[in-house]
Amino acid sequence: MTTALLLFFGRGGDSDIERRLDQIKIAIGASVLGRAREAGFAPLVAVTDDRDATRAFTKAGAEIRRVSSIAPRRRSSTSTRPPTPRS
């Protein structure tokens, strides 16, 4: 039986604290991937468009899938507000 591990990563924001937190999340993700590899999980797949995350996750043994190849974003001219519930 095969057990896969799928990890998603995207940056949180542009402020200094958010960049620092992103580096911590990348380190944690790489650690989790490495331990999953050691425990026999396969395949290991990381979904990200981030260069730093790609480097760390690849080093930890993950295959990288680009976000754009998984879920391409569509641009819409309609409102992004959620629909109003009906009574």
* Residue ranges of domains in the chain: 5-70
pLDDT reported for residue 72: 58
- pLDDT single digits (tens) 12-55: 989 999 999 999 999 999 999 999 999 999 999 999 999 999 99
Instruction: Return phi, psi of residue 12, to 5°.
Output: -90, -25
Whether residue 81 is predicted with pLDDT greater than 60 in this model: the reply is no
More confident residue, 1 or 31: 31
In this prediction, residues 59-76 reach a mean pLDDT of: 79
Q: Return contacts of 20-26, CB within 8 angstroms, 24+ apart.
A: 22/50, 22/52, 23/52, 26/50, 26/52, 26/53, 26/56, 26/57
Classify each residue of 30-67 as buried b or exposed e, where b means 16 or more C-beta atoms within 10 Å of its C-beta. Answer: bebbbebbeeebeebbbbbebeebbebbeebbbebeee
Confidence band of 2 (pLDDT split at 50, 70, 90): confident
